Structure 1
Amino acid sequence: MLPRNAIAIRKTLGAATRAKIITAATNKTSTATLLDYPPGAYTGMRTFDKLGIMDFTGHTTRLANSLQQIHFPGQGAETSVVDSSVEAAAATKGLAPLRRLEVMKEETMNLVKAGLKFYYKNRTDDVLGSADETKVTVLCTWDPENQEPTLIAHFEPLKTPTTLRCKVEVHGSPRHHATAKDSQWVRDRRGLEASLDKDSNEAILVDNSTQDIYEGLSSNFFAFDRERRTILTAPLNSVLQGTILKVVMNVCNNENIPVEFKFPNLKEAHEWEGAFITT
């Protein structure tokens, strides 16, 4: 079978050295590609009208902010998202430009442009003439072996829901550092993903002691309180704020729908008119 997906890699970055962007076809998924590289800051984007990226500035801001929180102790050590004192000096120096939003935005834009051009050119089907959009996953990490930053983008067809409803399971506990989008989470959540039933779409993370609902493995969770006619969702500093969450906030603001940043609670599910996830 011919490869359907694509990757674009830019390994050496900075004002002094300009590295060539390398593009290639691949059969690997975005998840498999993330697992091929050391943990680092990542984000998942989607195209609109094939060539635009939804909330591109928001995604690059997330990358830069996450990279500021994630630290790279050096070869053979695990990624830390807390203690900056353990970061290798070479990583601090090499990643400094990419921790600035304006540099991250420019470098990511160049990478995604090159990758999308290659992806559309090499698709065997007429993706530009279809309704299909593209999922773009970007990872920025530190290569301890070559002592340089790695910036990579992966391109694959965006999956569209086949039904208006989805099934979720209550699994696991809230993650420790939700505000940093670290690809280590892709590794950590594999056990939960493997335990899901075949017809389940997502696992919802809940505090077992309080029954407060935080978020999904890769989604934000919302409930609609029937009596108060208010949308409930977890406090923003306790979850990763997805791009579509901001879209929901804009819609609610335009339609005068109240939103309360309060944990939906499983014990109060009988008080909801409905619930939904966004990703």
Structure 2
Amino acid sequence: MTAIPTTATTAAPPGPAVPRPRGGVVQSARDSLVVAKRNLIRMARIPEVVIFGLIQPVMFVVLFSYVFGGSISVGGSTSPAAYREFLMAGIFAQTVTFATAGAGAGIADDMHKGLIDRFRSLPMARGAVLTGRTLADLVQTTLTVIVLAIVALLVGWHTHTSLPEVLAGFALLLLLGYAFSWIGALIGLSVRTPEAATSGGLIWLFPLTFISNAFVPSDNMPPFLRHIAEWNPFSATVQAARVLFGNLPPGYEAPQAWPMQHPVWASILWSIVIVVGFRTLAVRKYRSATA
């Protein structure tokens, strides 16, 4: 009887271990940092953008301090020094929010040049392109605020609280700037050219910043505008910064509106709502624009 030959199966040698990709939050954070680094390198290669971004807030500090300083009553005083301390929180807030136009123009420029399409071809988190851009803008805004604070100290601005409180005030300002950069991202994704993004990023900022307590006390406004100013997220952050810097006039009584009575909490809540809402809209717009 002839035995039936059997075929021996030889197991293949194990190949090299393939690293498991990091997904979810870790992958998105890593991709966002890569995009942020790319944007920071590009900003460093175009220093005139940073320089021009510094000129406007410095001009506002000098002009408002010396031109309007003795003309506006703050807490019953028309002292230029009193107005200068009242003013600076508003200038800081205006500076961080006006970075919105730059964020929108940068994203619109990337869309116009087809860079977003190249990013889309890479295995990366979809929201990382926008998150990286807003983080890079936050770094640039931080540098601008540092320079602006130095200029403010040179023209006579002072804080009257502890260092942690002062740092907390600047943190709230930067949080507001980061929140508004997501509004700029949505605008940049919604227009066709960087020029349109710049215009669209500024046209709504002027009424937002001027119908507020940034440059004049809201008590002197007509009732309708006063209510808008007191519930304005911009006003909440300005008021919180003044509290944390110790820049409220002597004998100052805050308006009865809740954001003015609790400005720190109001500033945090407004910024979180803006980040969550406009980040969701911007990422959705990004996906539909590159689909």
Common fold: TM-score over 0.5: no
TM-score by length of 2: 0.27
> Could you say which structure has the higher helix fraction?
2
> Could you say which structure has the higher strand fraction?
1
TM-score by length of 1: 0.28
Higher relative contact order (CA 8 A, sep 6+): 2
